[in-house]
Amino acid sequence: MPNSSLSLFSVYLPLPLEQHPNVLSSFLLLRILSFRLILLLLLLLLLLLLLPPPPPFNISNFSFEYLLISDLVNIYIYICTPPSSWSSMDHDRNNDIFEDEDKEALQGLSPVPPPPRNIHSYSQQLRATSSGPTAKRHDKGRKHSLDDIPMPVVSESFFDVSSSDDEFFLHSSSPSNTTRSRGASGEDFFVGADDDQLKQFQPLPEFIGNGSGTGIFKYPARSAMHGGRPPCLELRPHPLRETQVGKFLRNIACTDTQLWAGQECGVRFWSFENAYEAGRGLGGRVRRGDEDAAPFYESANTSPTLCLMADSANRLVWSGHKDGKIRSWKMDQHLDDANSHFKEGLSWQAHKGPVLSIVMSSYGDLWSGSENGVIRIWQWDVIEKSLSLSSEEKHMAALLVERACIDLRSQVTINGACSISSSDVKCLLADNVRAKIWCAQPLSFSIWDARTKELVKVFNTEGQIENRAELPSVQQQDQPVEDEMKVKFVHPSKKEKSGGFLQRSRNAIMGAADAVRRVATRGAGAFVDDTKRTEALVLTIDGMIWTGCSDGLLVQWDGNGNRLQEFSHHSSAVQCFCTFGTLIYVGYVSGMIQVLDLEGKMISAWVAHSNPVLKMAVGNRYVFSLANHGGIRGWSIASPGPIDSIIRSEVASRELEYTRRNSFRILVGTWNVGQGRASQDALKAWLGSAASDVGIIVVGLQEVEMGAGFLAMSAAKETVGLEGSAIGHWWLDNIGKALDEGKTFERMGSRQLAGLLISLWVRKNLRKHVGDVDAAAVPCGFGRAIGNKGGVGLRIRVLDRIMCFVNCHLAAHLEAVNRRNADFDHIFRNMAFGRSSNVTAAAGVSTASHTVKGTHAASTTHEESRLDLAEADMVVFLGDFNYRLFGISYDEARDFVSQRSFDWLREKDQLRAEMQAGKVFQGMREAVIAFPPTYKFARHQPGLAGYDSGEKKRIPAWCDRIIYRDNRSAPVSDCSLDCPVVSSIIQYEACMDVIESDHKPVRCKFHVQVAHVDRSVRRQEFGEVIRSNEKVRSILEQLPHVPDTAISTNNIRLQSQDTVVFRITNKDVKEKAIFRITCEGVCTVSDDREENTYHSRGLFGFPRWLEVTPAAGIIKQDHFVEVAVHHEDFRSLEELVDGIPQNWWSEDTRDKEATLSVNIQGSNRTETQSHQIVVRHCYSAKTVRIDSKSNNSWKGKRGSVHRSDLRQLSGSSDMVDDFRNF
């Protein structure tokens, strides 16, 4: 079945005429006219973009106008040229547009001859031990024909490195003479080579460009312990993405002894007592990705888990799933390695759609939210009864809960108009201070009474009250947007089709122009998505509600839904919140975590992960964070502080224990194929013959397919998320065939942008250590919007080190040096790698759209401003860079080539001159070129006589290059955790016998040494430091203690509608006290004096007849707070049993008793102290039934109020707003 996306796109894109044999004659004239019309429209749209022009690039002697006007001339030539000539034009690839540009450029050069010097020719392999080159004079007679020139005999007709230069020196050292740093040596991933042969290889001399060490070209800092963030407990180290398909972790929750995680196939948990233990390794009973994780236990397979909640009162963990079910899991699982998969407990079908959020209210009821704004309540009394049933009655238990559902959306829908939004529920929040439930949807909020289940307030993200019953439905509001999307992207019916080939061609070019417009306006902030969406919600201990938005905005609300103030500390979207004591932790999409105080002031911030922070949870003195890639890290509650430097230095001092080293080889090949196709013999000679001992192969092609129509089509396809072409797939398949793909190598990823194509293969024995393949593309042509020039890149993680490979095609023509420099700078700054849209396609990755870093002027920290390429451990640029030879004539260049005297030619190399001046490829390295120039040749003409000898006589040039950098900031560095990637070039060659293109393919082989961390061992060392280091233990013991507090009573007796007020006093004069009031258990007092049996409600919730206000808060030093305990006649509630209201006269009239626990803790300490208060409700026969509509709360009503003051108290009273209304 054809790809639906491609079929959709083909509606308005011009297809090749070969695919329409029946209408070939009808479209012949239309094609000629339409392409000219298409390109003329593009020309006009690009001209409009000049007002105002984008900011000029920070490159000397370069302007945006020059770049655009030059490209517009190219468009004009395509428009004015008959289609019959396009093929030949594409063959010359815009290099032939200006007839005499080389000659004109040469005429402008200085006529002063170069200084006299000895001309050397080298025919032997460069050796590190060479005492010096052997001089050889040129023949006086210039040889214009090179057919008869003898060439050195080398394998597969490659020109190996065969010349040296005194000014070059060896910047790399071979493993045979490198002093090993501390740590164990790992596996060397070599195949097909003898050990002696591997030890005797000699790295080639390299040329290093200037300009490194500053700005974006600064080498990334590496060390045994990251210096830019607090030391962390890596409970689950970053797994490779490819190992997590179907197993990704998406949320976490903590109990007092465990950390639970919801994944795409169920749940798992870690016990804190095993948090520092070693992983089970690749040979253990865990799958790939978890070999270094601390020991954990996993459930049987279920539908993907979307939300988690811990119920410590009943020792249960509740989970909401994609299949609409809510499941319970016992915390106390008795498992061993032989039986590590545990099963669910009570489960029921809660929603038709996915369960997006669950929460327990102050009264122990379970609230759940789903799609379309559906909110349902599952009362604890019914859940408790279902939990008491045996496993054989599982079906009956589920049915009992399902029938007791309360659907809030249906209760607030009147005459078809609903008071709340129909958008998906983003998250639910229990406000246990005031017994309310907040429901957050992307652009609105609703507040519900947790006891009466009544809607209190509906308001938008600006705090404005909404009466949604009077508003049109969301479906009607969204209809214009949907209609607009249909116009742009939806396949119209046959009746709706209007116009013909010209109309579809116009749609294609408008798509390309839209890509131009978006890129041009993005820097000015004109391309803005909706930034008001709510992403996260949290309750702080002072009773305030904080929300995080997709633009990074933090908003503070009071408990009544009044917007108080807002803060903006980061431009990235907020993903999650977490609170501990008086601190607020904020997780962002950028991977950053910020720590705020209750006033919104930022205390600290660090980049916690390389991926978005999905969830955070507090447990075992750590704040755990879950990253999008599945890694889990724990941050000490004492961080940031003095403890960080102690732990960092102690763990770093044990580097020897957890350092591992491996080495392997990478083969990188580049070829401008000039829209041609290669034979299998050519591909094997270029790549296959050199792949026997390499672990990774990277191939970059340029000009796979060109032409104005193709470029417009490619740009339009990019706008709708499509990439690649049939010819591109042909190249990938045939290169894979030459590399024995499937048996020896596996293709991991590819990316195509117009005529640029890059792909990566990994040998199977190295495959388990390679992953996280990301792709990116940056167009540089036609106003930085079209992919005739630009770069495509792949980023991979190898042995936990990041490597980037970028295939570039830079601006052409001899004189366009500044444009080439600007293209490189644009690519380096704007290449932003993103996850591919198809992880498993072609056994690897292929992404569908290019991403460009924004240029917004929002202030960012130095850490977050680092570019993707700047942060990589190894970066390799390959491609047709188009740098030419300057100051030399065609005849002189051919003469030097005939004598194999490449040292003179290197002196005239534009790229070398620009690198030496620090203008391009700053700080990068290239092996000394010792092969003939690879451009320009006549096609299908073998030998060096194939250099361009036509009318233009293109000067031979080394256009096709491979340049890299690793972690070395000094010429010679040992491989260590401070310098984890050390590379050397052992082969740099051109295949001169390949004749399918006017460029010759080039290949480069790297020997790479990698130092990495055994994260399982390092976690053990981290735990040893935490447990045994006296300084660390002393700091943890000095954390703020639990303040000394007192309560005014421990017994309260209530009758109907009674209210008793008691005091909690903080007697500490230094520390604030944090209090939380819960209900440990409820019982019915027996008349026969038997011992009462207490039952805990969900999450220590209160019984429905009891209201406690406030149930949590902060008490200042030497202050007290007054708490009201009120009895409410719960007969006023419409209790539903099988959908039938319960009769009020059937109420149990026996006395009831509840045990309240007042839990006190310090502002930054996990330990608590508890005070017990017994509250008894004595039934009165004189109680009169009160209607629910007139008695929703005890506030403002008549009744007896008793104050329990057992002692004279000093200090002022801290009252919350709700209680002040009493």
Residue pLDDT, tens place only, 1167-1181: 889 999 999 988 765
Return the amino acid letter for 852: V
Place of tokens 């992919």: 787
pTM of the predicted model as reported, rounded to 2 decimal places: 0.77
Helix (H) or strand (E) holding 386: helix 380-387
Cis bond leading into 52, ω under 30°?
yes
Total residues belonging to the chain? 1222
Alpha-carbon span 1042 to 1040, nearest angstrom: 7
Q: Which carries the bigger pLDDT value, residue 400 or residue 1213?
A: 400
In this structure, what are the phi and psi dihedrals at residue 392, rounded to the nearest 5 degrees? -70, -20
pLDDT of the residue at 1149: 74
What pLDDT, on the 0 to 100 scale, is given for residue 197? 52
- Torsion, Cα 383 389 390 394, to 10 degrees, reads -60
Q: What does the block give as tokens for 928?
A: 């000394």
Q: Is the pLDDT of residue 379 over 90?
A: yes
* β-pair partners for 792: 777, 807
Least confident range from 282-291, 624-633, 768-777, 778-787: namely 282-291
Residue 621 has pLDDT above 70, yes or no: yes
Range 377-382 average pLDDT = 94
Find, among 1086, 1081, 1112, the residue nearest to 1099 by Cα. Answer: 1081
Cα→Cα distances 989→199, 459, 467, Å:
21, 68, 73
Whether residue 967 contacts residue 979, with contact meaning beta carbons closer than 8 Å, is answered with yes
Which residues touch 1213 (CB under 8 Å, ≥6 apart)?
1119, 1120, 1121, 1122
Mean pLDDT calculated for residue range 303-309: 97
**Contact predicate 835/795, CB 8 Å:** no
Residue 4 scores a pLDDT above 60: no
CA angle 202, 205, 209 (to 5 degrees): 145
pLDDT-based confidence at residue 907 (cuts at 50, 70, 90): very high
Distance of CA 71 to the CA centre of its chain: 35
Q: DSSP readout, 831-866?
A: B--EE-SBSSGGGSEE--S--B---------TTTT-
pLDDT band at 149 (very low <50, low <70, confident <90, very high): very low
pLDDT at 12: 35
Q: What is the mean pLDDT of residues 116-139?
A: 35
10 Å CB burial of residue 96 (0-12, 13-18, 19+) is: middle
Q: Report the range of poorest mean pLDDT among 647-651, 973-977, 985-989, 1202-1206.
A: 1202-1206
Q: For residue 499, name the pLDDT band (cuts at 50, 70, 90).
A: very low
Does 178 have pLDDT greater than 90?
A: no
Residues 6+ apart with CB under 8 A from 984: 171, 172, 173, 174, 203, 204, 1006, 1007
Confidence at 480, pLDDT banded by 50, 70, 90: very low
Mean pLDDT of the chain: 77
pLDDT score of 341: 86
pLDDT of residue 1118: 92
Helices then strands, each counted (H, E), the chain: 24, 61
Is the predicted pLDDT of residue 354 greater than 70, yes or no? Answer: yes
HSE (CB half, 13 Å, CA atoms) of 1190? 5
Q: What residues does CATH 2.130.10.10 cover in the chain? A: 232-466+532-656
Give the pLDDT confidence score for residue 196 in this predicted structure: 53
Residue 590: predicted pLDDT: 93
Token pair 């790549």 in the structure block, residue: 687
For residue 876, with 0-12 CB atoms within 10 Å meaning exposed, 13-18 middle and 19 or more buried, which class applies? buried
Q: How confident is the model at residue 163 (pLDDT cuts 50, 70, 90)?
A: very low
- Predicted confidence at residue 17, as pLDDT, reads 39
Percent of the chain with pLDDT over 90: 54
Q: What is the pLDDT of residue 550?
A: 93
Whether the Cβ atoms of residue 251 and residue 305 lie closer than 8 Å to each other: yes
Angle between helices 1015-1028 and 642-652 (to 10 degrees): 130
Least confident of 9-13, 324-328, 613-617, 749-753: 9-13
Task: Dump the DSSP string for 269-326.
Answer: EEEGGGTTSPP--TTSSS-TT-TTSPP-EEEPP-SPEEEEEEETTTTEEEEEETTSEE
- Contact of 934 with 990, CB cutoff 8 Å: yes
Residues 6+ apart with CB under 8 A from 517: 45, 49
The confidence score (pLDDT) of residue 1094 equals 79
pLDDT score for 407: 94
pLDDT band at 292 (very low <50, low <70, confident <90, very high): very high
Lowest-pLDDT range of 384-393, 439-448, 1013-1022: 384-393
> 384 pLDDT exceeds 50?
yes
- Burial degree of 196 (CB within 10 A; 0-12, 13-18, 19+): exposed
Mean pLDDT of 184-200: 58
| pLDDT (mean) for 1080-1109 | 83
| 1149: Cα separation from own chain's centroid | 59
- Contacts of residue 272, Cβ cutoff 8 Å, sequence gap at least 6: 257, 258, 259, 619, 620
As a whole number of angstroms, the distance between CA 986 and CA 161 comes to: 9
244-265 pLDDT, tens digit each: 988 999 999 999 999 999 999 9
Model confidence pLDDT, tens digit, residues 914-937: 999 999 999 999 999 999 999 999
Q: What is the pLDDT of residue 159?
A: 37
% of the chain at pLDDT higher than 70:
68
Q: What is the CATH number of domain 105-127+159-174+675-994+1001-1012?
A: 3.60.10.10
pLDDT at 56 over 70: no
pLDDT tier at 233 (50, 70, 90 boundaries)?
very high
Confidence of residue 1091 (pLDDT cuts 50, 70, 90): low
Q: Find, among 890, 895, 823, the residue nearest to 105 by Cα.
A: 890
pLDDT at 721: 58
pLDDT, position 1203:
60
Residue 731 has pLDDT above 50, yes or no: yes
Per-residue pLDDT at 504: 55
- Band of residue 429 on the pLDDT scale cut at 50, 70, 90: very high
Distance CA 48, CA 233 (A): 55
Q: How far apart are CA 1104 and CA 1133, in angstroms?
A: 9
- CA atoms of 1132 and 1137, how far apart (whole Å): 15
What pLDDT, on the 0 to 100 scale, is given for residue 1088? 63
**In terms of C-beta density within 10 A (0-12 exposed, 13-18 middle, 19 or more buried), how is residue 476 classed?**
exposed
Query: C-alpha dihedral over 537, 538, 543, 545, to 10 degrees?
Result: -20
In this prediction, residues 850-877 reach a mean pLDDT of 63
pLDDT of residue 185: 60
Distance from CA of residue 5 to its chain's centroid? Answer: 25
Residue 191 clears pLDDT 60, i.e. is over it: no
- Helices 64-80 and 817-830: crossing angle, nearest 10°? 110
Q: Residue 1155 carries which side chain, given as an amino acid letter? A: T
pLDDT for the residue 1019: 96
The 10s digit of each residue's pLDDT in 546-578 is 999 999 999 999 999 999 999 999 999 999 999
Query: What number of CA atoms fall less than 13 Å from residue 401's CA on the CB side?
Result: 30
Q: Which residues pair with 159 in a beta bridge?
A: 990
Residue-wise pLDDT for 796-821, tens only, equals 999 999 999 999 999 999 999 999 99
pLDDT tier for residue 22 given thresholds of 50, 70 and 90? very low
pLDDT at residue 678 greater than cutoff 90: yes
Single out the residue of 960, 894, 990, 929 nearest to residue 165, CA to CA. Answer: 929
* Cα gap 592→589, rounded to integer Å: 7
For residue 859, what pLDDT band results from cuts at 50, 70 and 90? Answer: very low
Q: Which CATH architecture has domain 232-466+532-656?
A: 7 Propeller (2.130)
- Please name the helix (run of DSSP H) or strand (run of DSSP E) that holds residue 233, with its range, or none: strand 232-236
pLDDT, position 933? 95
Q: Would you say 14 and 712 are in contact if contact means Cβ atoms under 8 Å apart? A: no
- In words, the CATH class of domain 1045-1220 is mainly beta
Contact 353, 371 (CB under 8 A): yes
**Other Cβ atoms within 10 Å of 20 Cβ, number:** 12
Give ranges for CATH 2.60.40.10 in the chain.
1045-1220
More confident residue, 150 or 1036: 1036
With cut-offs at 50, 70 and 90, classify the pLDDT of residue 741: very high
H-assigned helices in 1060-1192? none
Q: How far apart are CA 70 and CA 65, in angstroms?
A: 8
